[in-house]
Amino acid sequence: MVKPRPQIDQIAMYSPGKPVEELKREKGLSKIVKMASNENPFGYSPLAAEAIRTEMKEIPLYPEVTSPLLAEKLANKLGVASNQVVFGNGSDEIIRLLTRTYINEADEVVMAGVTFPRYKTNVIIEGGSPVEVEMQEGGIHDLDKMAEAINEKTKMVFVCNPNNPTGTIVEKERLKAFIEKVPSHVILVMDEAYYEYADSSQYLETLPLLDQYTNMVILRTFSKVYGLAALRVGYGLMAPEMVNDLHKVKEPFNVNRLAQAAASASLDDDEFLYESIRLNKEGREFLTKQFEAMNLSYFPTQTNFIMVDVGAPAKEVYEYLLNLGVIIRPGHLMGYPTMIRVTIGEQKDNQYFIDCLEAYLKEYRKSEKGVLKR
Ligand SMILES: Cc1ncc(COP(=O)(O)O)c(C=O)c1O
């Protein structure tokens, strides 16, 4: 029997939000509302669609290795140099490239206790040790405890801001103080996959700090507000020396032609971007008002998803909603057994989700044992 490296026995396959096609097959339902993977429910830019159609004729040719045209356009837009950008097959790949490139066996990597699971998985694959720091109340990174967890073995720190799955941000001044405390030989990865949605005055703009802190990496993606999740394109912003390191490690043709073209065209469509942000904000206000009316507490979110405490077993709520064609994420696997994470959707889907949740809670409150066990 072939045996994998011992680290591989410590990890499990990534468990994504249930795909629409799978639920349709399983339940024989025609209408499915997917509010599970923090995708953009409003689609993607028509300019990207046009760019994909044009680029299709080039499919027989390999794409450019470092996405140079996209790099230049993005760099101009963000006000960084194009040699500070690395593109990946989703920002997932940048996380993989960072751990592949920098983590040795026994290196420690500090991260929040409830955060994006790919940090931990990738650290384990390299034989490193994830150091998970308990969250502070309210689903927020405990930056003081995270700073205390940094020692001579620490090679990398992940701060997911806003955080997935809790949707919360860390306060500006606290984050600035934390950044200052991270030693310059420790890589500080700021995962900002939901950056475009964050509108709080407490949200720290990290980009202006990039030149000052050469150990800082900022991760962003075209999968969320730009609506290009299936095309797989995300990026990391970092010192040019680190870009060179990652370029040596990455697969040559990691970002395909259609993805490069669509991402590039998306950068020209501010109208789509701002409309998505506006509609998300409306959805966020609608859902939070509904939760308040239902007496449910939630974590304040700066993203396109929200974690709400339904006061009932998350797994059961998940199953109940699945039967009605609504896919959400249950919190029991994330350490929040009575919370669910729901992606903010189109208004009609938000309303349908609320109707289904209300129906569940009505039944649950009538029954001591739980709805599905009766
Ligand atoms: C915090 C965070 N980082 C990174 C990713 C990876 O996104 P992608 O690989 O699609 O760019 C996600 C996806 O959900 C995420 O939530």
pLDDT tens across 91-108, in order?
A: 999 999 999 999 999 999
Show the domain range for 302: 15-43+271-366
Q: Which range among 49-53, 358-362, 367-371 shows the weakest confidence by mean pLDDT?
A: 367-371
Residue 35 and residue 165 in one domain: no
Angstrom distance (rounded) from CA 47 to CA 70: 15
pLDDT (tens digit per residue) in 206-219: 999 999 999 999 99
Average of per-residue pLDDT across 14-43: 90
Q: Which long-range contacts (CB under 8 A, 24 or more apart) does 76-84 make?
A: 77/267, 78/207, 78/237, 79/207, 80/207, 80/210, 80/237, 81/240, 83/240, 83/243, 84/210, 84/237, 84/238, 84/239, 84/240, 84/243
Residue 329, token pair as written in the block: 């994420």
Whether 156 maps to a domain, the answer reads yes
List 157's β-bridge partners, or say none.
Answer: 110, 188
CA dihedral 258, 260, 265, 269 (to 10 degrees): 110
Rounded CA-CA distance 117/132 in Å is 11
Which of 217, 252, 268 finishes a domain?
Answer: 268
Nearest of 233, 239, 244, 266 to residue 67 by alpha carbon = 233
C-alpha 223 to ligand 1 mean position (Å): 7
> Which CATH number does the domain housing residue 281 bear?
3.90.1150.10
- Whole-number Å distance, alpha carbon 368 to ligand 1 midpoint, is 38
Token reading at 358: 């209300």
Instruction: Give, for ligand 1, the residue of 221, 224, 343 to mutate: max count of ligand atoms closer than 8 Å to Cβ.
Output: 221
d(CA 118, CA 133): 16
Is 68 found in the same domain as 88?
yes
- Which residue's CA lies nearest to atom 8 of ligand 1? 90
Tokens of 359: 């129906």
Looking at the structure, do residues 93 and 189 belong to the same domain, yes or no?
Answer: yes
Is 213 part of any domain? yes
pLDDT tier for residue 374 given thresholds of 50, 70 and 90: very low
Q: What is the rounded (10 degree) CA torsion for 359, 362, 364, 368? A: -160
* Cα gap 346→279, rounded to integer Å: 8
Q: Residue 281 domain-assigned?
A: yes
CATH code, 125: 3.40.640.10
pLDDT for residue 53 = 98
**Burial of 59 from C-beta contacts in 10 A (0-12 / 13-18 / 19+):** exposed
Nearest Cα neighbor of 38 from 291, 259, 284, 363 is 284
Would you call 107 helix, strand, or coil by DSSP?
Answer: coil
pLDDT above 90 covers a percentage of the chain that reads 92
Shared domain for 138 and 229, answered yes or no, is yes
Based on the domain organization, do 152 and 98 belong to the same domain? yes
Q: Which residue CA neighbors atom 12 of ligand 1 most closely?
A: 193
* Residues 281 and 207 placed together within one structural domain of the fold: no
pLDDT tens sequence across 167-207: 999 999 999 999 999 999 999 999 999 999 999 999 999 99
**Å from CA of 373 to ligand 1 middle:** 35
Of 268, 292, 326, the residue at which a domain comes to its end is 268
Counted residue by residue, the chain has a size of 374
DSSP class of residue 114 equals S
The average confidence (pLDDT) of the chain is 96
Mark whether 167 and 283 lie in a shared domain.
Answer: no
Residues 208 and 116 in one domain: yes
15 — pLDDT class (breaks 50, 70, 90): confident
| 296 within some domain | yes
CA-115 nearest atom, ligand 1 = 1
Q: Are residues 230 and 108 in the same domain?
A: yes
Could you tell me which of 291, 358, 348 has the C-alpha nearest to residue 33?
Answer: 348
Name the domain count of the chain: 2
Does 6 fall in a domain? no
Reply yes or no on whether the pLDDT at 368 is more than 80.
no
Whether 2 maps to a domain, the answer reads no
Question: What's the pLDDT band for 23 if we cut at 50, 70, 90?
Answer: confident
Cα–Cα distance measured from residue 62 to residue 81, given in angstroms and rounded to the nearest whole number: 25
CA 138, distance to chain mean position in Å, is 19
**Are residues 356 and 327 part of one domain?**
yes
Q: Which atom of ligand 1 is nearest to the CA of 224?
A: 10
Same domain for 89 and 202: yes
Both 277 and 240 in one domain: the answer is no
Nearest to 306, CA basis, from 323, 326, 328: 328
State percent of the chain over pLDDT 70: 98
- Ligand 1 centroid distance, CA of 98 (Å): 15
Q: Evaluate the omega torsion of the peptide bond into residue 208 and state whether it is cis, within 30 degrees of 0.
A: no
Instruction: Give the pLDDT confidence score for residue 281 in this predicted structure.
Output: 98
**Residue 180 CB: number of other CB atoms within 10 A?**
11
Q: Ligand 1 centre and the CA of 208: distance in Å? A: 22
Final residue in a domain of this structure, among 235, 268, 301: 268
CA of 34 to the centre of ligand 1 (A): 17
For residue 220, the SS3 value is strand
Q: Does 277 fall in a domain?
A: yes
Ligand 1-lining residues (CB < 6 angstroms): 38, 90-92, 116, 160, 164, 191, 193, 221, 223, 229, 234
Atom number in ligand 1 closest to CA 221: 11
Asked, for residue 9, whether it belongs to a domain, the answer is no
Tokens of 138: 């309210």
Query: How are beta strands 154-160 and 187-191 bridged, if at all?
Result: parallel
